[in-house]
Every structure is written in structure tokens, then in C-alpha cells.
């Protein structure tokens, strides 16, 4: 029987979610446990939680729950906090424990005008923090939960996709020009999460692209096979089936399908470029998944009452998270084996590195670095320019009198050419390949 985590994760939502439930006058996501409620919950979906409400909500969790810790780990350009929530069984897990054990990182609302992921993360954090059941305790004994509740606070305040400079953070996970992406890179480096779950929303294009929830794993060819397999399993055997069991439609992100046959007819997004978080996660040896809920109202009830649409958006996110937590509970051993092997492979792998292509789009000969150099050399000026970014990525560089040498023989092997080879579309600098190692 599939591992279920409903009590802690979905609060009062313990049965199939129906249209009638979505339209019910009672708060749709009322917590089954003690603890604060979000602004979304108190308004029954009529509005999204404000940032002052979020701060008060998180402060209370930090104060009341012994297993929960909320830390400010960065600041946006406009001075808003970037906060990390750590949740363990009896106390907040340390960085060392997180690195050594199994862990999941939830990244919530990188795009500021996509708020349902943030709401799902806030209510999930609360339910985990206050849960008293044995199943939650057992789960947290084996899996540390990390949550970045609002990955783009400035964008959320302005209700914009980008941050306060108009930059799409989800296209900055290689260059690390934004404070938000730099903070997320630090989380990858310091905690090495085994699974990264990235919550987004999208606008529908009926009738070809209008599912309640879409998902997609890392398509980058630089993702180790076992990590890729676990990520696609997370999507296709856990998240999507669980969402469907709860009464919602699902699909693969970026693929238009024929409404009559269900067959794919066009790809409009979802490629393998590594600067997008789901692909960055794969390259950095984490099981990554992007989920997108539909913002567009399609039913008459959703058109008549935005709160009905908002509740459907949130609850479909929660259903996806239910599937994700089932995956984490059932496949913990496989996940850890895949991510550990992927990190160790960087010390021995001599295979190619890809500058293009995807798991559904073979790379051309020009996009394949068939025989990578053993290292890249940076002169002093180049290292001064990109050394901070390399450090944030966790890429190991060896300083010397001439600058620095970055060897491929390290856990982030595939990332090195993407950052330093001039043939890479998003390289930080054009370093000199070296075969003298």
C-alpha cells in the first residue's frame, strides 16, 4: 500500500478533493492541528497571505515548535528577508545531519506572480511543525524538510514574475547575478538536498494546455542516469497519480496535447538548459521536479468567484506535495543511493559533458564535449571576476600564483565546463582548458 502522509500534509483534507469541496463556504485548507493560519485560510481564498502576515506566521512557528527553526539566510535588493525553515523530528536538523541523511528542499514561488506555491509551503510547514501523529514523527526521523517559503519576496510584493530588477530568477541559477539565486545556490552547497521540489504556476492555452497541474523533471543530459530516473519517477508515479486521485487533471510541463487523443503535438517549454532550477538540481546531483498549477479559470464557478479558482490552485499544489512526500517516504533508500552515487561519480567519470540537447532531444555533435579536459585554468583577473560564483556553486578551485585551477575531478564535475568553457551558452568566463593534471 502506498505510503500516505495526509494527516500532516493536508490538514483537514483527508479525502478526495471535489468541486463541491472547492466551493464550500468553510475554509478549504483549515489546519487539523493547532497553530497559526495564513491570510489565505482566514479569507477562504479571497486573498493571498500578505508579507507581514507571513512574517508573523513564521515567527510563531519558530517560537512554538521545538522541531522547527526559521532563519534569515539572505536579503533581497529591497531589503526583504529570504528565510529558510528547517524541520526535524524533535529538533531542527543541523546542516551536517541534513547532508548525511535524506532531505527535501521546497522552493516556493520563484516567480512573484505565482503565489499558490507559497501558500502550499506555508500551510505544509505549519502542519509539519504542529503534527503530533506517529507517522509524521517517523517520517521526520528519516527525512529532513527544508523550505524557502518565498523565494522572490520583492516580486511577490509587486505581483511581478521577476524580482525588483525585473530579472527572472529561474533563469539565473548559473550566473547567480541576483541575491535570490545566490541564496538558493548557497542552500544547494551547504545542505546538498537529495530532492528539490520547485512550485510554480502557469497560464493555460485551452484546449491543448489546460491541466490543473503540470510537472517536469530535469531534462538536462548532464543529469546522472539514476538521479534522472528518480526524478521522472517522482513525477510520473507519485505526483501526477496522486493529483489525479484527488480529482485534478495533470500533464507534462511544456507539452501541448491533442484534447481528443491525449497525444503530444507540440513542445512549447521545458528544455534542458541548466540555468533553470529543475535542471540545475539535476546537474548538482539532486532529484529535481518542477510543478506548475493552472492560474486560468476554466469553470463557470471559478470565473464567477476568484476565491474558488484560488482554492483550486492551492489544493492542487497540496495534492502534488502529498505525492512528493509519499515518494520521499517510500523511496528514501533509492533516492539516497542515486544522489550519493552521482556525487561520487564526479571523481571518476570520464564521460562527455553536454552543452545542449535534452532527454527528449539528442545533442548534436557540436553540443557534445566528448573528451573533456581534466581542468580549466583561470588567470588572476578571471578568477577575481568569477571566484565568488564558483564558491557559491560549491565548485572547488585551487589558488596559485597565476590565478586558479578548477579540476573536473570533483562532485560538481558536469557543472565545471558549463561555467568555464566558452562553448557553453551560459558560461561565466572563457577559461583555458588544460590537459596537464
d(CA 78, CA 334): 41
CB atoms within 10 A of CB 48: 21
Scanning 223-305, the segments in alpha helix (DSSP H) are 225-233, 240-245, 277-283, 300-304
d(CA 319, CA 120): 10
**Cβ within 8 Å of residue 2, ≥6 positions away:** 326, 330
- φ, ψ of residue 254 to 5 degrees: the values are 90, -5
Q: How are strands ordered across the β-sheet holding 287-294?
A: 68-75, 81-87, 143-148, 102-108, 195-202, 287-294, 213-216, 250-252
| Grid cell locating 16 | 478526495
The residues assigned a catalytic role are 292
Q: Which secondary-structure segment (H or E) carries 82?
A: strand 81-87
Scanning 293-371, the segments in alpha helix (DSSP H) are 300-304, 306-330, 332-345
d(CA 422, CA 379): 15
Angle between helices 225-233 and 332-345 in degrees, nearest 10: 150
Cis ω before 207 (30° cut-off from 0) = yes
| Grid cell locating 179 | 541575491
List the one residue out of 141, 162, 140, 143 whose CA is nearest residue 151: 162
404 in helix, strand or coil? strand
Residues forming a β-bridge with 106: 147, 197
By the 8 A CB rule, do 421 and 433 touch? yes
CB atoms within 10 A of CB 366: 8
- φ, ψ of residue 286 to 5 degrees: the values are -115, 150
Sign of CA dihedral 138, 143, 151, 168: negative
First to last CA, the chain: 52
Q: How buried is 216 (Cβ within 10 angstroms: 0-12 exposed, 13-18 middle, 19+ buried)?
A: buried
Amino acid at each position: 500500500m502506498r505510503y500516505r502522509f495526509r494527516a500532516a500534509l493536508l490538514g483537514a483534507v483527508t479525502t478526495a478533493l471535489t468541486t463541491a469541496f472547492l466551493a464550500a463556504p468553510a475554509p478549504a485548507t483549515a489546519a487539523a492541528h493547532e497553530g497559526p493560519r495564513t491570510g489565505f485560510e482566514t479569507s477562504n481564498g479571497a486573498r493571498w497571505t500578505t508579507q507581514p502576515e507571513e512574517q508573523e506566521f513564521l515567527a510563531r512557528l519558530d517560537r512554538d515548535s521545538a522541531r522547527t527553526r526559521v532563519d534569515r539566510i539572505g536579503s533581497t535588493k529591497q531589503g526583504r528577508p529570504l528565510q529558510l525553515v528547517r524541520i526535524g523530528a524533535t529538533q531542527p536538523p543541523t546542516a551536517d545531519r541534513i547532508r548525511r541523511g535524506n532531505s527535501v528542499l521546497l522552493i516556493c514561488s520563484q516567480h512573484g506572480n505565482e503565489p499558490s506555491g507559497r501558500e502550499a509551503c506555508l500551510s505544509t510547514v505549519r502542519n509539519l511543525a504542529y503534527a503530533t501523529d506517529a507517522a509524521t514523527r517517523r517520517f521526520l526521523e528519516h527525512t529532513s524538510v527544508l523550505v524557502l517559503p518565498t523565494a522572490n519576496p520583492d516580486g511577490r510584493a509587486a505581483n511581478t514574475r521577476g524580482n525588483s530588477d525585473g530579472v527572472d530568477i529561474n533563469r539565473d541559477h548559473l550566473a547567480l547575478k541576483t541575491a535570490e539565486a545566490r541564496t538558493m545556490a548557497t542552500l544547494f552547497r551547504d545542505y546538498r538536498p537529495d530532492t528539490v521540489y520547485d512550485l510554480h504556476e502557469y497560464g493555460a492555452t485551452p484546449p491543448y494546455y489546460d491541466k490543473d497541474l503540470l510537472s517536469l523533471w530535469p531534462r538536462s543530459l548532464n543529469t546522472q542516469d539514476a538521479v534522472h530516473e528518480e526524478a521522472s519517477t517522482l513525477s510520473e508515479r507519485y505526483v501526477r497519480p496522486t493529483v489525479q486521485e484527488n480529482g485534478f487533471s495533470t500533464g507534462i510541463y511544456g507539452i501541448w496535447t491533442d484534447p481528443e487523443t491525449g497525444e503530444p503535438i507540440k513542445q512549447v517549454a521545458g528544455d534542458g538548459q541548466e540555468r533553470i532550477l529543475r535542471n540545475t538540481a539535476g546537474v548538482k546531483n539532486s532529484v529535481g521536479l518542477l510543478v506548475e498549477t493552472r492560474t486560468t479559470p476554466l469553470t463557470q464557478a471559478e470565473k464567477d468567484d476568484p476565491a474558488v479558482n484560488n482554492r483550486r490552485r492551492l489544493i492542487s499544489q497540496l495534492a502534488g506535495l502529498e505525492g512528493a512526500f509519499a515518494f520521499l517516504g517510500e523511496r528514501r533508500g533509492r533516492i539516497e543511493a542515486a544522489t550519493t552515487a552521482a556525487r561520487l561519480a564526479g571523481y571518476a567519470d570520464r564521460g562527455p559533458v553536454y552543452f545542449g540537447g535534452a532527454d527528449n532531444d539528442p545533442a548534436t555533435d557540436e553540443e557534445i564535449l566528448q573528451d573533456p579536459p581534466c581542468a580549466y585554468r583561470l588567470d588572476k583577473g578571471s578568477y577575481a571576476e568569477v571566484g565568488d560564483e564558483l564558491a557559491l556553486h560549491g565548485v572547488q578551485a585551487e589558488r596559485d600564483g597565476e590565478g586558479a585551477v578548477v579540476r573536473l575531478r570533483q562532485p560538481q564535475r558536469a557543472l565545471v565546463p558549463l561555467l568555464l568553457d566558452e562553448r557553453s551558452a551560459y558560461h561565466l568566463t572563457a577559461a583555458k582548458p588544460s590537459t596537464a593534471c
